[in-house]
């Protein structure tokens, strides 16, 4: 089975975390989402850097933007640490 397209993964993850925010509220949702975000990024380039950044996000908006930035960076083969 081929690796899923990065756009699909990013959209699926974004939808997943939005559902967590909706169900748990923003405060708990962003904290619970961290573990799910880690699953989606495990084994990907700069995944550890991304997960560290996610662990310091304090709003749903910041998390969504970090997810977009990370997957955009992967698409463009950029360096997340830069």
DSSP 27-78: HHHHHHHHHHHHHHHTTSTTHHHHHHHHTT--SHHHHHHHHHHHHHHHHTT-
Residues 62-74 pLDDT 10s: 999 999 999 999 9
Residues 15-63 pLDDT 10s: 999 999 999 999 999 999 999 999 999 999 999 999 999 999 999 999 9
Asked if pLDDT for residue 82 goes beyond 80, the answer is: no
Whole-structure pTM value: 0.86
The CATH number that domain 6-75 falls under is: 1.20.120
What is the pLDDT, as a whole number, of residue 3?
A: 78
Q: In the structure, what pLDDT confidence band is assigned to residue 2 with cuts at 50, 70 and 90?
A: confident
């Amino acid at each position: 089975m081929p690796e899923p397209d990065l756009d699909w993964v990013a959209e699926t993850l974004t939808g997943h975390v939005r559902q967590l925010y909706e169900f748990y509220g923003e405060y708990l949702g962003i904290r619970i989402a961290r573990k799910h975000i880690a699953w989606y990024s495990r084994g990907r380039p700069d995944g550890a850097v991304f997960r560290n950044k996610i662990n310091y996000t304090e709003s749903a908006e910041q998390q969504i933007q970090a997810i977009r930035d990370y997957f955009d960076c992967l698409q463009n083969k950029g360096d997340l640490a830069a």
